[in-house]
Structure 1
Amino acid sequence: MTGFYNRSVFGSVAVATLAIGIATSAFVNDAAADTYKWLTFKPQGAGDAQAISTQWFVDEFKKRTGGKHEIEVFWGGSVAKTREIPDALSANVGDFGDIITPYFADKFPLNNAVGFFIPQPNSTIEIAHLMEKWHAKYPQFAEELANYNLKAVGFRPLESYGLLCTSPIRSLADLKGKRIRTYGFAYPALVEALGASPVSIATAEAYEALETNILDCTPIGPALAYGWKYDEVAKYYIEIPLGASFGHLIAMSLDTYNAMDDETRAVVDKLGNEYAEDYNAELEKTIAEVRAGWGAKGVEVIPFPKDELISVIDDERIQAVRQEWISRAEAAGLPVDEIVSELKF
């Protein structure tokens, strides 16, 4: 994905201008406010697990505070677009928001740990629980966010990925020379280690690239393959166990969180702890529905030998990417061996 990890272009001037304009519309953060603001790039009524679980959080917050407090969701980037949300929360333009963590690896390297360790053996809910554990056990994860006036209150990993391809892939030999979409840190190194060619193409452009044979494969999960309609033009889903990627933080302005009364803050903490389970349940439901419909769409699901994938993990290119995160984590004083052991096959 072109520019996938670039720093947000939402500069301080833009934040200040937006904050001033929003203040005139009663968007100013107020510790006594009855209504909090949730900033998201998701369109209202998207109907996917992300949007559904967001609405669940909002509805439960109002119910559990007895209607004393509520959250208004500003859907579809109407207040801050995807790459603007962290700075908007930092500036108290919003109170809650969705942060696609890998877009900001320069700001949040520790919280992007999973992105350096693809492939890894954990599922969506397992990654969510690992993130919860790391935040509870190691203060460095929360401190990294606090540097930007942010606090994580929930975790939304992406689904476990395989490869969606335009031709059958049944072994490592079949991947040789294939053009595979890559982004971030780990995927380019992994694709090269598999003997394929990494191609950087934006998410929105991948459909056409698969359709016109610019790409042979893209790493993706069933729900996203269906959501982006890639399964209309690529009819082979390869069950290569890449694992789940860490995707989104459900974040708050730290100022807002600290200004809440103890009772309201306890509601937020409880909802955050429950969020991953609700999100994962919705995601698994979607995945099951997509898989059930693939036969009628002509999509073939093909197993891939797990041992052949594991055999390339010691490749120096993959290990160099992992070492990059390890070096950063060691500099932050984290017990690296303990964390890394949970991301290894």
Structure 2
Amino acid sequence: MSRTSRPVRRLLGIAATVFSMTAAGQALAQAPITYKVIGQPAATGLVQKNYERPFFEEFAQRTGLNINADYKPVDQLGIKDTEQLRVMKAGLFDIVSLRVSQNSRDEPTLLGLDLVGAAPDYATARKVYEAYLPVLDERLQKQFRIKLLGAWPFGPQILFCKKPVTSLADLKGLKVRTYDQNLAKFMESVGASPVPLSFTEVHQALSLGVVDCAITGPSSANSSGWPEVATHQYGLGVQMAMNAYGIGLNQWNKLSAEEQAKLQAAFTKLTDDIWTYSEELTADAMACNAGKDSCEMGKKYHLIDSPLQDADRQVLTEAVAKISVPTWAEICDKANKSCSADWKATAGKVIGIE
């Protein structure tokens, strides 16, 4: 071997080392990262099962990003659904399927998305959502370092009772499961005694007589077997049970502008699809709960479907200005000085309350 071959061999060795280091670096850069995700309770039913879970199980494909999702429903994590903001702020999870009303004690601004009586139908709820989301996004970024990516409703929250209930007047003296302060105040106004319970506690509470009635969406009630322990459903939608998707700002800020756009587009499609599906589910579940032949997606039960009273619709409409907004504003303005003013300039404006 000539003397000149040694430098050549040395250069070749260096080149091989550099190549292998470069290849390893590229492989490392291309390795997918994994987001830890808090999902909706599995007990809530078909939205979680048919839309949310598949989205996160196919996260990389749905978003077009080199990111996977470790998705766990909140009721399988040992975390209460009222603690989602706290664990997100602590950086324990990257994305949350946020239960709006349930977390409103930690951030009252959230409840502006779902005040009692403010959005009695899907069309109105959509207007409130689109007007108010930027306000809510700014607040959650500031207080909890969470960037909102969209929101959707489970649907009208109605009464399920184990006693005959044909109007709001029949609730006088009855114990009713509620899940936020605004709803509790409205129940008190019609003579009921509000009892705060988590969703997973309700079936047993109805069965044992801890409560006489409970409020949730028709589909969630169907999926969780509430009609097994109730006798009547009364379809006055007091709220829409809004839920929102949020990502921790630390993860959001690590994404490029192009990646952020892809992620946002994927969540916008998901939430739009759920809005449509939720409305279909509500109609079907109302029929299923009452054992009607039009039932297709849920389980048939035999609840008595009490006809909706026009007088109760009026009571609910009047409650927005008389009860919902004042009760909420008093609490929210203490935590967030511009809270009610921001709501009136956005959500309030689209429903005629300023």
TM-score by length of 2: 0.73
Query: Is the 1:159–1:221 contact (alpha carbons within 8 Å) kept by the matching residues of 2?
Result: yes
Higher relative contact order (CA 8 A, sep 6+): 1
What residue is the counterpart of 1:105 in the other structure? 104
Map 1:71-220 to 2 at 5 A. Answer: 71-77=68-74, 81=79, 82-83=81-82, 85-115=84-114, 117-124=115-122, 126-128=124-126, 130-136=128-134, 138=135, 141-220=137-216
d(CA) in 1 for partners of 2:209, 2:73 = 31
Secondary structure (helix, strand or coil) at the match of 2:274 reads: helix
Task: Report % sequence identity.
Answer: 19
Q: CA RMSD in A?
A: 3.4
In structure 2, runs of 5+ residues without a counterpart are 1-27, 292-299
d(CA) in 1 for partners of 2:288, 2:174 = 27
- What are the superposed Cα offsets for residues 270-295 of structure 1, whole Å, 9 maximum, x if unpaired? 12222222122333343344334331
Q: CA deviation at 1:51?
A: 3.8
Q: CA deviation at 1:344?
A: 6.6
TM-score by length of 1: 0.75
Bigger Rg over Cα: 2
Q: CA deviation at 1:106?
A: 4.3
Map 1:1-345 to 2 at 5 A. Answer: 34-42=32-40, 48-58=46-56, 61-63=59-61, 66=64, 68-77=65-74, 81=79, 82-83=81-82, 85-115=84-114, 117-124=115-122, 126-128=124-126, 130-136=128-134, 138=135, 141-246=137-242, 248-294=243-289, 295=291, 296-311=300-315, 313=318, 318=324, 320-324=326-330, 327=333, 331-332=338-339, 334=342, 336-342=344-350
d(CA) in 1 for partners of 2:282, 2:274 = 12
- Of stretches 272-281 and 122-131 in structure 1, the one that deviates more from structure 2 is 122-131
- What are the superposed Cα offsets for residues 68-112 of structure 1, whole Å, 9 maximum, x if unpaired? 513222324576734554344434443222222333324422222
d(CA) in 2 for partners of 1:219, 1:79 = 24
- Of stretches 205-214 and 312-321 in structure 1, the one that deviates more from structure 2 is 312-321
In structure 1, runs of 5+ residues without a counterpart are 1-29
- Of stretches 92-101 and 297-306 in structure 1, the one that deviates more from structure 2 is 92-101
In structure 2, relative to structure 1, the CA distance for the partners of 1:194 and 1:238 (3 Å cut) is same
d(CA) in 2 for partners of 1:235, 1:221 = 16
What residue is the counterpart of 2:9 in the other structure? none
Query: Is the 1:186–1:321 contact (alpha carbons within 8 Å) kept by the matching residues of 2?
Result: yes
d(CA) in 2 for partners of 1:303, 1:224 = 20
d(CA) in 2 for partners of 1:90, 1:170 = 44
Secondary structure (helix, strand or coil) at the match of 2:235 reads: strand
Q: Please tell me the residue identity of whatever aligns with 2:66.
A: H
Q: CA deviation at 1:176?
A: 2.5
d(CA) in 2 for partners of 1:44, 1:166 = 24
